[in-house]
Chains A and B, each alone.
Chain A
Amino acid sequence: MVPGDLRYTKDHEWVRVEGDTATIGVTDYAANQLGDVVFVDLPAVGKPVEQFATFGVVESVKAVSDLYAPLSGEVIEVNGELAGNPELVNSDPFGAGWMIKVKVADAGQVDGLLDAAAYEQLTAEG
């Protein structure tokens, strides 16, 4: 079960929109597929991100995956904990494993994302 209050991309990122701030991470499904996460490469604060364009990279021991931004905006905070504890992406993907916060440029972009039900259906199909 994925949290019902989040929106999702088909590339397995989640986003929580609160006011004009969007918190972004990857889903538990993505974390499981990757295996033990060992490194997360994230953009610096102030960098722009664009919806569905890559904003970073997540590495596990034997896999690597691009991260795609669910929404456009400017990075206002980066989860510094992940530098020393990348395993948070595995242990708490929807909580302490969050990756970046973005100042949302266009709230209307949320409509183009999957809701929890649609995302669960996507992962159920594999």
Chain B
Amino acid sequence: MAYGPHTPADRRRMLDALGIASVDELFADIPETLRASPLKLDPPEPEQQLMTRLAGLAAKNRIDLASFLGAGAYRHFSPPLVDQILLRGEWYTAYTPYQPEVSQGTLQSIYEYESLIAELVGLDVVSASHYDGAAATAEAALMTCRATGRGRVLVSRAVHPQYRAVLRTYVDGAGLDVEDVPIVTDGPLAGTTDLEALERLLADESQPTAGVVLPQPSFYGLLEPMAEASRLAHAAGALFVAVVEPVSLAVLAPPGAYGADIAAGEGQSLGIPPQYGGPYLGILACTDALVRQIPGRLVGMTTDVEGRRAYVMTLQAREQHIRREKAASNICTNQSLLALAASVWLAALGPHGLRDVAALGAARAAELEAALAEVGVQRIHTAPYLNEFAVRVPNAADVHRELLNRGVLAGLVLGEAVPDEPSVVDSLLVCATEVTTSEDIGRLARELAGVLATGAPGTPTRAPVGVTS
């Protein structure tokens, strides 16, 4: 057996103690008619062979491309110390800190995570983690309904399309309503949330709004009118939810500064590898006033019987194991190890390192914008961006595919990602971070110019693949 310790003698000893001849007797309680057909699987693979197989599969993935793909998952530098800490078994082979006396490491690390994120977002209550940014956003929407007793959530179409899809699944699930707030289609504010439309939707008194959800920066990379949207939401008695990218908060105004009641976001950018979608880190934070509405675990500082500072899971009466069908959410297992990863990454970089990461990404993005403009490829929006923006490229899907053949991953084809947003057809969403090199930027500009000069490549051999479903 691969990992079990039992010798035939050990098993014999246990069977003898039970007074039975075969382990089969321990399964006699499974009615014969319900017993399983034989398992048909490939034979067991010893570790050496397994490693060869896995290395072979991993090698089939192409990670050597010059990549400008972001759209909700971002490559960042992670100092080696981060992964070395994560590889300590005391962290990753522990479970939920049910016995605080032998879990102070995990508990204190969660408290510190809550504190670090609270400082970044400018809100005082931070949950111990959620599945990902999309699930955290959906939970935030449900929170607004519980807190206000209202049943309608307004979501900007500038929010990541997959987040909107998940939010819809959750909100529909709970029997509540979700409505889109459109984006402005032209002019200087093109691509950002349409505040006039938001105001109209909020004015509908037959359907009082529980929450308004806006992103910062948006799916299109743009800076959104958060302060004004927050004011409009509050004037209508609704709560305001900011969907944020945490690295950007080193330099952008935090949700607490513009009056957001809840912040949700994807913590993957805090040094967690992209790993094809997860495990990621759902960030969820709120004001003190909403502490009893927030789902998921919370860790608090307290004292022990001898007066020593100690940490414990608290306010558990919100949770499923106590409140069952009346719980704030069904969440149990969360993303604790990723919260630790984010904390160690933040500690390794410090406040100024984090600012450098954000500012360097902005600088690289400006360099990218200039390089693309030089070959005649322009932004489709004019509103300010931080490190991600959309550019107009005719036949974007074909061009994107041809660039892939040339070793360049030219961001995201927006027409496929948001097919229901006509204002962004024929464009690519590109991003830069501190790990984007000038060489790669030059390569993209050069290859793009080449592809555009030779005209649109031939018809696609495979159907395009988008991000919404």
Listed in ascending order, the chain A residues whose CB lies under 8 Å from chain B are 38-39, 41, 59-64
Contacts and interface: CB of A to CB of B under 8 A. Distances in A.
B323 interface: yes
Contacts of B317: 38-39, 59-64
Contacts of A38: 317
A86 to B, nearest CB: 12
B316 interface: yes
B322 interface: yes
Contacts of A41: 292
Contacts of A39: 292, 317
A62 B323 CA distance: 10
Contacts of B326: 64
Contacts of B322: 62-64
Interface string B310-330: 000000110000110010000
Contacts of B292: 39, 41
A36 to B, nearest CB: 12
A120 to B, nearest CB: 29
Contacts of B323: 64
A41 B322 CA distance: 16
A39 B322 CA distance: 14
A60 B292 CA distance: 13
Nearest to A61: B316
B292 to A, nearest CB: 8
Interface residues of B, number: 6
Contacts of A63: 317, 322
A38 B314 CA distance: 10
A44 to B, nearest CB: 12
B97 to A, nearest CB: 15
A62 to B, nearest CB: 6
8 contacts: A59-B317, A60-B317, A62-B316, A62-B317, A63-B317, A63-B322, A64-B317, A64-B322
A26 to B, nearest CB: 16
Interface in B237-293: 292
The winner among A39, A41, A59, A62 for most chain B CB atoms within 10 A is A59
5 closest A-B pairs (Cβ-Cβ)?
Answer: A59-B317, A64-B317, A64-B323, A64-B322, A62-B322
A53 to B, nearest CB: 15
A84 to B, nearest CB: 14
B14 to A, nearest CB: 36
A38 B322 CA distance: 14
A63 B318 CA distance: 10
A82 to B, nearest CB: 15
Contacts of B316: 61-62
B160 to A, nearest CB: 35
A59 B291 CA distance: 14
Interface in B299-344: 316-317, 322-323, 326
Contacts of A64: 317, 322-323, 326
A59 B319 CA distance: 12
A115 to B, nearest CB: 31
B323 to A, nearest CB: 5
Interface in B21-38: none
A44 B35 CA distance: 57
B329 to A, nearest CB: 15
Contacts of A62: 316-317, 322
A18 to B, nearest CB: 32
A21 to B, nearest CB: 28
Nearest to B327: A64
Contacts of A61: 316-317
B237 to A, nearest CB: 16
A61 B323 CA distance: 12
A59 B327 CA distance: 13
A17 B316 CA distance: 35
Nearest to B326: A64
A63 B323 CA distance: 8
A13 to B, nearest CB: 19
A61 B326 CA distance: 16
A64 B318 CA distance: 9
A59 B318 CA distance: 9
A19 B317 CA distance: 37
Given A39-B292, A61-B316, A62-B316, 14 more contacts: A38-B317, A39-B317, A41-B292, A59-B317, A60-B317, A61-B317, A62-B317, A62-B322, A63-B317, A63-B322, A64-B317, A64-B322, A64-B323, A64-B326
B149 to A, nearest CB: 12
Nearest to A41: B292
A60 to B, nearest CB: 7
A55 to B, nearest CB: 15
A68 to B, nearest CB: 15
A81 to B, nearest CB: 19
A60 B317 CA distance: 7
A39 B292 CA distance: 10
A41 B323 CA distance: 14
A41 B316 CA distance: 15
A34 to B, nearest CB: 10
A60 B323 CA distance: 11
Interface in B100-115: none
Nearest to B319: A64
Contacts of A59: 317
The winner among A41, A61, A62 for most chain B CB atoms within 10 A is A61
Contacts of A60: 317
A50 B317 CA distance: 25
